[in-house]
Amino acid sequence: MPGYALPAVPVEVREKIARLASERQAVILSHYYCRPEIHEVAHFVGDSLGLSQEAARSPAKVIIFCGVHFMAETASILCPDKTVVLANSGAGCPMADMIVPEALAARKRELEGVPVLTYVNSPAAVKAISDVCCTSANAVAVMRSLEGRRVLMTPDRNLALHVQGLVPEKEVITWPGFCPTHHRLRLPEILALREAFPGAEILAHPECQPGILGEAQVIASTSGLIRHAAESPGREFIVLTEEGVLHPMRKNSPDKVFHTPATPMICPNMKKNSLGDVVSALETLSPVVKVPEGTRLAALRAVERMMAVPRD
Ligand code: 13P
Ligand code: SF4
């Protein structure tokens, strides 16, 4: 492929993973933020919503999840009969850790009957006491689907403020959570990038702060941004999300130019998943992520409601 070199995956590693996956009747799922070599051995690469949908529809007995803990939990909520293995047991999500069920329960008591919309980037026990979940791909549509004017949206404040801007008829009450990878971007850097590349379209994930989103032409989930970059007649882009999306963007459009901020946008947890972890997960079928049945059944209602709402 001219213009973009694919990451090298040793052929013996690729073959070993394919053989083990077939023996184990396993499907390997990877989030876009994982390393390019993980994309290359995965059966399916997607955003949070796409991965949940793929987990739910896959006939595989085993799911090897290359992503972070809440994603494997969501797969466990949706697929209780499958063995869900998180390739790297240390891959957590700091934003998901910014909310715990006790704190949400206390806020719900204060807000007396206000529905709770929870981003999937949250613990299963928090989903279990939420009314509905969303991902960045359907947050606006899920918000619009709710009855009543006031909604508590947790845990990502930046996503909640973005949704509030698009759904002004609601009063969105926020939670003070954020994604460190996206939240650390600062406006002066983006303004300088825009000045340096005036012809470039700015693509941003809604986990960025409102001032950054105010400069973006396209705000969407990772799959939405990747699709836009492939379909746009534009030739140059400033990409404001985790750098893992650059692999599919460059692979889809080797002749287009993708600029990134000097502040590195790298999720250290997503990057923990290695090819060695995938091999080990397939060999040992561990570490398993299994949501306890009581929590699972309670969380399933909120997750299924989310799955019924199409992408924005
Ligand atoms: P999406 O997968 O919805 O684009 O969200 C990005 C993210 O931060 C996942 O952790
Ligand atoms: Fe969590 Fe942000 Fe990493 Fe996504 S990119 S897993 S929200 S820390």
Domain of 167? 96-179+294-307
Q: Does the residue 18 lie in any domain?
A: yes
Instruction: Identify whether 61 is part of a domain.
Output: yes
Q: Is 170 in the same domain as 303?
A: yes
**Which pLDDT score, from 0 to 100, does residue 19 have?**
98
In-domain check, residue 2 = no
**206 and 75 in a common domain:** no
Neighbouring residues of 282: CB distance < 8 A, sequence distance ≥ 6: 17, 20, 21, 24, 26, 64
Q: What is the edge-to-edge ordering of all strands in the sheet holding 257-259?
A: 218-219, 201-204, 236-240, 257-259
Can you tell me the distance from the alpha carbon of 229 to that of 74, in angstroms, rounded to the nearest whole number? 28
**CATH code of the domain in which 48 resides:** 3.40.50.10800
Q: Is residue 264 part of a domain?
A: no
The verdict on 23 and 82 lying in the same domain is yes
Is there a single domain that holds both residue 116 and residue 53?
Answer: no
**Residue 239 and residue 250 share a domain:** yes
What distance in angstroms lies between residue 12's CA and the mean position of ligand 1's atoms? 31
The residue type found at 54 is E
What's the order of all strands across the beta sheet hosting 83-86?
44-46, 26-31, 62-66, 83-86
Residues of the chain whose pLDDT is less than 50? 1-2
Together in a domain, 204 and 250: yes
> Which pLDDT score is estimated for 2?
46
DSSP sequence for 26-68: EEEEEETTS-HHHHHH-SEEE-HHHHHHHHHH---SEEEEES-
Distance CA 222, CA 258 (A): 15
Same domain, 149 and 187: no
Question: How many domains is the chain built from?
Answer: 3
- Closest atom of ligand 2 to 179 CA is 2
Q: Which ligand is nearest to the CA of 205?
A: 1
Predicted local distance difference test score (pLDDT) of residue 5: 83
Q: Do 167 and 299 reside in the same domain of the chain?
A: yes
Provide the pLDDT for residue 1: 41
In a domain, 282, yes or no: yes
Confirm whether 4 is domain-assigned. no
pLDDT per position as a tens digit, 227-263: 999 999 999 999 999 999 999 999 999 999 999 999 9
Q: Is residue 283 part of a domain?
A: yes
Q: State whether 112 and 69 are in the same domain.
A: no
How far does the centroid of ligand 2 lie from the alpha carbon of residue 131, in Å?
22
| Ligand 1 site-directed mutation target among 133, 136, 159, most atoms within 8 Å of CB | 136
* 104 and 85 both lie in a single domain: no
Indicate whether 102 and 171 sit together in one domain. yes
Can you spell out the DSSP letters for 102-159?
A: HHHHHHHHHHTT--EEEESSS-HHHHTTSSEEE-TTTHHHHHHHS-SSEEEEESBHHH
Residue 232 Rama label (left phi>0; alpha psi -120 to 50; beta): beta
